[in-house]
Copies of this chain bind each other. A is one copy, B any other.
Amino acid sequence: MTVDTVNDDAPGPAELPPGMLSGLRVLDLSRIFAGPAATQVLGDLGAEVIKVEDPTGDGSRRLGASEERMRRMGGTSPAYLAFNRNKRSIVLDLHVASARAVVKRIAATVDVMVHNFRPGVVERWGLDHAAVAKDNPRLVYAEFSAYGTRGAMARVGANDVAVQAYSGLISATGNKGEPPVRCGTAVVDMQGSLALVGGILGALYHRERTGRGQRVSSSLLASAAHLMGYVYADYWADGTVAEPLGTANTLNVPNQAFPAADGSVIIIASGDDMWARCADALDPARLNRPEYQRSFDRLLKRDTLVPEISAVTRRFTCAELVERLEAVRVSVAKVNSVAEAADSEQLTANGGWVSLGDDQPLQRAVSSPFELSESPVRVRRPPPRLGEHAEAILGEAGYAAEEIAALRAEGALG
């Protein structure tokens, strides 16, 4: 992949081909994480994304942890800046009829529309799929809900951690007998973002072949269930209910974190050959014993084997354990802090982040999670200020200056 980080609208260097979605227009009414993270991937692929915000702005702008920090960041949280590059912003107060008319007019001209209003809201506003597809049958209309659009909970709102709880993910995370623990990032939102990306790109492929758009739906519920796929399968197979096991799992031993002199490392030696190499590399006399040779035996003897391994690993530093075990092709990884992970050379070597510009409050952000050999990713725009591009967007949609003034007078633009 070619990563280019030009921060303006000028065309890139001549040798850089256009993005895969160059020329495609996306109207994004979604808020917080899953939707904006999805449309950012589309923007990274070259699409032009119009971000519609209510007068107070996407709620993620305010997730700044403290007032003082928000001031330092220029009023906008890192969480917003992480997911909103390659977009332009317009404020529309959808409680005002003329603002809804603006959405409808723009929706008639775009390729993709995304929203995450609760089921029922877009119908009330005349912005549901049937209403907007009438004027634009090629539109790919993507909607993201909390608990799906059917069933008793369809209109219940939720965020990532609520669905981590509802899906059983929290119940399978943590140390047994201790207070519940969530995954340390919004895994359901992020899985949802890629579910939307997959559905939208699939629908665009289908449109290319048939000429027709369609509705794409996903939800926190469906995304969490997908994350839990093999865990639910264990239950559906014979009632096996996953329980929290720290960093371990029920499938093989060792496959978890072990203490080092200066931190922890994950050691995975599931196959019998790999276990033998692991035992020999650490302390053959103590670990390479007949009762631990077979994988099913190691599972049964977890309660003695794990303390045995721990007693050995404590004698080494993380770096020593990584070096020793990598040398014999045993899977090993240091439990990094967020700082070590974000700064890692390996992430940089693989284009894991893009530059948002040296003049920006957040100067780098994580890349989209896949690369395409023929489609460059380019940061064409840093995350927009609230309503920064209202005039330009309305102008392109055919609104004359006096019409824009009228919208403003009515409060449609916040």
Which among A73, A191, A340, A375 has the highest number of chain B CB atoms within 10 Å?
A191
Chain B CB within 8 A of A338 CB: yes
Chain B CB within 8 A of A364 CB: yes
A326 to chain B: which residues have CB within 8 Å? 156
Question: Using a Cβ–Cβ cut-off of 8 Å, how many residues does chain A contribute to the interface with B?
Answer: 157
**Contact residues, A361-386 vs B (CB, 8 A):** 361-375
Taking a contact as CB atoms under 8 Å apart, the answer to whether A350 and B162 are in contact is no
Taking a contact as CB atoms under 8 Å apart, the answer to whether B257 and A165 are in contact is yes
Chain B CB within 8 A of A251 CB: yes
Once A20-B206, A191-B190 are accepted as A-B contacts, the answer to whether A369 and B179 lie under 8 Å apart by CB is no
Once A191-B187, A237-B362, A247-B180 are accepted as A-B contacts, the answer to whether A340 and B168 lie under 8 Å apart by CB is yes
**A242 CA to B175 CA, complexed, in Å:** 19
Which among A170, A299, A364 has the highest number of chain B CB atoms within 10 Å?
A170
Q: Smallest CB–CB gap between A21 and chain B, Å?
A: 8
Chain B CB within 8 A of A239 CB: yes
Q: Smallest CB–CB gap between A111 and chain B, Å?
A: 11
A363 to chain B: which residues have CB within 8 Å? 236
Chain B CB within 8 A of A411 CB: no
**Contact residues, A87-119 vs B (CB, 8 A):** none
Q: Smallest CB–CB gap between A332 and chain B, Å?
A: 7
**A20 CA to B216 CA, complexed, in Å:** 12
Taking a contact as CB atoms under 8 Å apart, the answer to whether A221 and B161 are in contact is no
**A80 CA to B352 CA, complexed, in Å:** 30
Chain B CB within 8 A of A409 CB: no
A268's partner among B20, B161, B217, B341 (CB-CB below 8 A) is: B161
Which among A165, A195, A340, A365 has the highest number of chain B CB atoms within 10 Å?
A165
Q: Which residue of B lies closest to A365 (CB)?
A: B233
Chain B CB within 8 A of A334 CB: yes
A201's partner among B168, B205, B337 (CB-CB below 8 A) is: B205
Which among A326, A329, A350 has the highest number of chain B CB atoms within 10 Å?
A350
Q: Mark A240-278, 1 if CB is under 8 A from B, else 0.
A: 111010110111100111000000111010000000000
Taking a contact as CB atoms under 8 Å apart, the answer to whether A334 and B151 are in contact is no
Count identical subunits in the complex.
2
Interface of A is mostly: mixed
A246 to chain B: which residues have CB within 8 Å? 179-182
Once A181-B246, A228-B338 are accepted as A-B contacts, the answer to whether A196 and B372 lie under 8 Å apart by CB is no
A150 to chain B: which residues have CB within 8 Å? 349-350
**A82 CA to B251 CA, complexed, in Å:** 15
Taking a contact as CB atoms under 8 Å apart, the answer to whether B205 and A20 are in contact is yes
Q: Which residue of B lies closest to A212 (CB)?
A: B374
Taking a contact as CB atoms under 8 Å apart, the answer to whether B194 and A172 are in contact is no
Taking a contact as CB atoms under 8 Å apart, the answer to whether A184 and B169 are in contact is yes
Chain B CB within 8 A of A284 CB: no
A240's partner among B65, B82, B202, B256 (CB-CB below 8 A) is: B65
Which among A33, A205, A238 has the highest number of chain B CB atoms within 10 Å?
A205
A344 to chain B: which residues have CB within 8 Å? 166
Sample (29) of A-B pairs whose CB atoms are under 8 Å apart: A21-B202, A66-B296, A72-B238, A78-B240, A82-B232, A148-B352, A151-B349, A159-B255, A159-B331, A164-B266, A165-B247, A168-B337, A170-B247, A170-B257, A175-B175, A180-B247, A180-B335, A182-B247, A191-B369, A194-B197, A198-B198, A202-B375, A215-B373, A216-B373, A222-B371, A225-B341, A228-B342, A233-B365, A233-B366
CB-CB nearest 3 A-B residue pairs: A151-B349, A172-B184, A148-B350
